[in-house]
Structures are given as structure tokens and as C-alpha cells.
Amino acid sequence: MDTVIASRAAVRERVAALRAEMTTQGWFAVVVPSSDPHLSEYLPARWKSREWLSGFTGSVGTLIVTTDEAALFADSRYWTAAEQELAGSGIALEKLPAVVSSLHLQWLAARLAPGKRVAVDGTVLGLAAHRALQAAVQGAGGALVSTKDPVAAIWADRPALPAAPVVEHGAPQAPLAREAKLTATREAMRTAGADWHLISTLDDIGYLLNLRGSDVPFNPVFLAHLLIGPQGATLFADTGKFSAATRAALQSASVALAAYESLPAALASVPVGTAMLVDPKRVTAGILAHLPQGVRIVEAVNPTTLAKSRKTADEARFIRSTMEQDGAALAEFFAGLEASLAAGDRITELDIDTRITAARAKRPGFVCPSFSTIAGFRANGALPHYRATDDAHAVIEGDGLLLIDSGGQYLGGTTDITRMVPIGTLTDAQRRDCTLVLKGMMALSRTAFPRGTLSPMLDAIARAPIWAEHIDYGHGTGHGVGYFMNVHEGPQSISRTIPDAAMAMEPGMISSIEPGIYREGHWGVRIENLVLNVPTETTPFGEFLAFETLTLCPIDTRCIDTSLLREDERDWLNDYHAMVRARISPHVSGAALDWLQVRTERV
């Protein structure tokens, strides 16, 4: 049987099994989010319930199954892929008009009758999301059941929890000791009036304790919860993952180890009358439900979320060095790719990931990719979250644009870059789109702004040159980036999201700038650099910040119509290429150096 047909049949069988369980439990609907107990972006296999049930492989989306309907809610980044993956499954695609949307709640409420019960696994639903779902269900006269995992009874071969070891992220790349970070966190707790603090997000835990793991694909984190109390802290994790040396180091910092499964009991024993600090966007409702009712909840952004977003001067120094090594790896990769294409070698989208990872693996401090490489040729490049597979990928031949979005995890930082490669002869329309995207990226890269500006306010600056041509793109312009941590990191987000105070731009924050243009069925364009917030000037109007461009890799000018660039834009591009050449040249030789010199010539 064809693998695609078999996959769709399996999805229909699983949905049927879920409906049988719904009948047994008396549920009218089941909501399956794309999350785990840590609200991670990339999920361990055990918690990929939505993907297992629906067959949709995108990283974001919500599945709702009722007694007679099933719908997958996804934003524009995933529409094309979702339509292909859901075809024939019996699950309809509902297109969300924006990344942040309540359409799925409206859809569910419109189908609910008074007294109907809706089930969701509360242990994987964020506190804020749980409140919104509960309000929608109760508003329609229904009841929300969040104390049980709806798929547990039907997923017989569910994967086990990952068991990779936990390792120290030590000096010199981790310049601030865990004891100092814990002290700062406790001070923030006191300021908030909290006796206890629960942290469930893995990047916050890894940052705070200077520990790294590999339980989640591409993110150097490990499964754990951390409960900080008046006298010490307890790390709830698989205790077998820790070496004797790491155990001793944690103990010296007053951090005890306990079994991952023992968190509910520990929360239940928190004394009534004390206060617990939690971040409603970074803790799940099901886990928090174990607290006694007499414990006062203090809601605020995790102090570690704010602290880790503001890289120290020492961390910035390591990041700059890492960018040079990453740029050298990219020079080697692109030089080899162009030579292979010129020789007529058969290159596929899958080969891009293999080759670019191999080039990075030669560089000091490299650990792993920071996400699955996106290599989209021609129409595949129009899918912002496209991923080539063994069953579906393109051969890179003929004429067209090749979009390559990739990144690496290094001991001294995390990288994320997108570049366009011309294959054969480009059309004027393709070069125009590339130029418009470059103009948008440059416009924001050159911007100075008052310290404390809410990051979503900057989004329109990159879009303006693209909007001027009555074109737009469906994803955000930029995301925060971690330090040998998650490639997508908050709290800042340069996007059309609803801003909050935590999104204020502060010195030391690293963000991507990645505008795009996507012409469905034809080509896609995205150009991306990482930038660092740095102080620039203090005037009578306040302290201003600017962006220091961190990414070091040529922007292929064969994709650009330079006649569309203003003189100041041409100067920025030439200055950027001069910096790239100066900083990468000492790290490469031979064909890679030759390639670098050609691709950084003035325009």
C-alpha cells in the first residue's frame, strides 16, 4: 500500500478510536494542542499527540475532534503543507487569520450545546490558554474536563520519555555561576512578594542551573521542573541522567534532585498561606492544579526569562566568536555547493542539510543544528516552514531560487540564518522580490529606537518597503534567540502580536530580522540576520539602542537588482560585506576563501 494512503488510513482509525473513547467518557469534544508539560516549541515524541492523531507535522496547530467533525487550526505558515497532509484524513483545515487567534475557540463554542463536556489534557495546556478555553466552553453552557489525557487510552505504543544525559555548561562559555543566578532569582521572588517559584520551561531551567541536555530536538535542554523554596530548590528530573560530579555541584548550590514524577506531591505539600510565583504563559494549568487552594498565586514573567534574554558582555563576546566560526562553515558549504552545481552533480534539498551540518561539525564548539534545515527550491521556498523528506523533495537543477534557512548550536551561542541562492538564470521578478526583502531587512537593521520600545512596534519598519509594493508576509519579522539555548526565545518578538510590558527591548537582547515574500506555487524569498541590541546615544529624549549585526555571511548579490537600491542602502550592503570578509577570511582558505572574496565584492 502507498505510504501516504496508509498514513491517512491510520489517522482515520485513530480518530475513530478517539471518538469511541469520547463515547465511553461522555465527552462531546476533545481539544489537542501542540504542547507538552513544559510548553516547549519542539516536542519530545511522547507528547506529539496532535501529530499522531492528525498526521499534520507542523510545529504549531490545534486539533479539535467532536462526535461528528474534526478540524485542524493553523496559521498561514502551514496552510499549504496542512492541506497536503490532511487530504483524505477526514480532518478539515481551518485557516487562522493570524498567529494569535481565537478562531478555534469560536468554532468550538458554536458547536457546543448546554451540558456538553469538552476534554483537554490540562498538563500540556498553558494557564492562560486554559483560562481562555474554559471561558469559551462555559460561555456556551458546556463543561471543561482537564484532569485526564484524552489520548492515553488509545495510544498503545506511545514513546517513552527521553533518557539522554544532562551535562554542565561551564566556564568560560557560561561566565555567570548558577549560585549567582539563583541569588538574583530569589531577589526577584522577594520583590514580587513570593515565597516559592515554580519553573517548568526547560530553557529557563537550563539557563538558571547552567545545565544542558538533548531531550528535545535541536534545543540543548532536558525534561525537568524546578521548584525554588525558602530554604533551597528541588530539580524534578530523571535522576539517572546526572553524573556524580553534577549531583555534587548542584548540592553545593542547595539544589536537590527528585524524581520527575514527584512534582505533584511536592506542590501539594506547599504550605497554605505562602505565595507561589508563576508565569501564566510558561506553566500549565494541570500542573498548577496540584497546589493547595490556600496558596496565593503571584503571576509575573519568570525572572529567568528576562535575565537570559539580556546577554552579558562576556556572552556577547563568545557569540561574536561563534558567528565567525559559523560564517566560516557557511563559506565552506556555499563554495562546495556552487562547485558541485557547476560540475553538474545531482544535488537535492536533502543534500543541503547533510552538507551544511557537516561543514558546521568541523568548527570548534559545535554541538548540533539549532533546528531542522529548511532548503526550499522553487515553489517549496514559498512554504515558510517547509521541510524536505525522503518521500517529497526537489532536485536542484534548471532555473530558480533556492532558500536555505539553517542554524547551529555552539557552546558559545546559537545561530540562525537564511540566504537565497540563484540557480541558473533568475527572472527580473525574482530579483525584484529578493531586493524588496533585502530593503526591508536593511531598514530595520539600521534603525535606532528608544530603550524600552516594545518589540512589536518595530515590525512595520521591515515591512514598509514591502508594503510599498502592496505585498506582505504572514510570519513575524523576528524572534529572540538564546545563548546555546532555544533558537526561538522570548520575551521579545518583532511581530504583529499584541505587545506586553515584558517585550521591552533592552541591551543585550539577540533577535532575528527576517522579512520575506512568498508566491505560492512559484518561489519564496527570505533573508535573515541575527542582531544584538546595543546602546548608541543618550539624548535629551532618552537612551537609544541600535542593532549590531552578528551574522557573518555574504548576501548573494546575483539575486539583487542593485538599481533598486538607494545609495545609503548600497553603502550598508558594501560595509556589511567588508566586515564579513575581514572577520571570516582568517578562518578559511582555498576554495572557501576564494568564494568569500568573490561574494563580498562591492556593488
The number of domains in the chain is 3
Is residue 202 situated within a structural domain?
yes
- Domain end: 253, 269, 300, which one? 300
Please tell me which residue, 230 or 340, carries the higher pLDDT value: 340
Do 210 and 318 lie in one domain? The reply is no
- pLDDT for the residue numbered 84: 86
How many angstroms separate the Cα of 150 from the Cα of each of 46, 106, 398? 14, 21, 49
pLDDT per position as a tens digit, 6-36: 778 899 999 999 999 999 999 999 999 999 9
Is residue 407 situated within a structural domain?
yes
Give Cβ neighbours of residue 157 (< 8 Å, ≥ 6 apart). Answer: none
In contact, 556 and 328? CB cutoff 8 Å: no
- pLDDT for the residue numbered 76: 81
The residue among 168, 152, 239 whose CA lies nearest residue 209 is 168
Do 292 and 389 lie in one domain? The reply is no
**pLDDT score of 542 more than 90:** yes
Do 273 and 317 lie in one domain? The reply is no
Is residue 153 situated within a structural domain?
no
556: domain range?
A: 310-599
Instruction: Look over the chain and give the mean of its residue pLDDT values, rounded to a whole number.
Output: 95
Is residue 413 situated within a structural domain?
yes
**pLDDT score of 2 more than 80:** no
Distance of CA 560 to the CA centre of its chain: 29
- pLDDT for the residue numbered 189: 97
Is residue 508 situated within a structural domain?
yes
Angle between helix 428-445 and 459-467 (nearest 10): 150
Do 472 and 521 lie in one domain? The reply is yes
Do 361 and 285 lie in one domain? The reply is no
- pLDDT for the residue numbered 3: 63
**pLDDT score of 450 more than 90:** yes
Is residue 343 situated within a structural domain?
yes
Quote the percentage of the chain above a pLDDT of 90. 90
| CATH number of domain containing 265 | 3.40.350.10
Do 184 and 233 lie in one domain? The reply is yes
pLDDT per position as a tens digit, 498-518: 899 999 999 999 999 999 999
In contact, 584 and 328? CB cutoff 8 Å: yes
Give Cβ neighbours of residue 118 (< 8 Å, ≥ 6 apart). Answer: 27, 28, 29, 30, 31, 108, 112, 133, 137, 142, 143, 144, 145
Q: How far apart are CA 51 and CA 74, in angstroms?
A: 13
Do 468 and 404 lie in one domain? The reply is yes
Report the chain's terminal Cα–Cα distance, integer Å. 55
pLDDT per position as a tens digit, 413-434: 999 999 999 999 999 999 999 9
- pLDDT for the residue numbered 1: 41
Do 320 and 382 lie in one domain? The reply is yes
Q: What is the mean pLDDT of residues 597-601?
A: 98
Do 130 and 176 lie in one domain? The reply is no
**pLDDT score of 101 more than 80:** no
87 confidence band (pLDDT: 50, 70, 90): confident
Do 436 and 575 lie in one domain? The reply is yes
Do 467 and 524 lie in one domain? The reply is yes
Do 209 and 345 lie in one domain? The reply is no
Is residue 162 situated within a structural domain?
no
pLDDT per position as a tens digit, 104-162: 999 999 999 999 999 999 999 999 899 999 999 999 999 999 999 999 999 999 999 99
| CATH number of domain containing 532 | 3.90.230.10
Q: What is the mean pLDDT of residues 224-245?
A: 96
- Domain end: 253, 278, 300, which one? 300
The residue among 473, 484, 475 whose CA lies nearest residue 168 is 484
- pLDDT for the residue numbered 381: 96
- Domain end: 241, 267, 300, which one? 300
Is residue 157 situated within a structural domain?
no
pLDDT per position as a tens digit, 63-80: 999 999 999 999 887 888
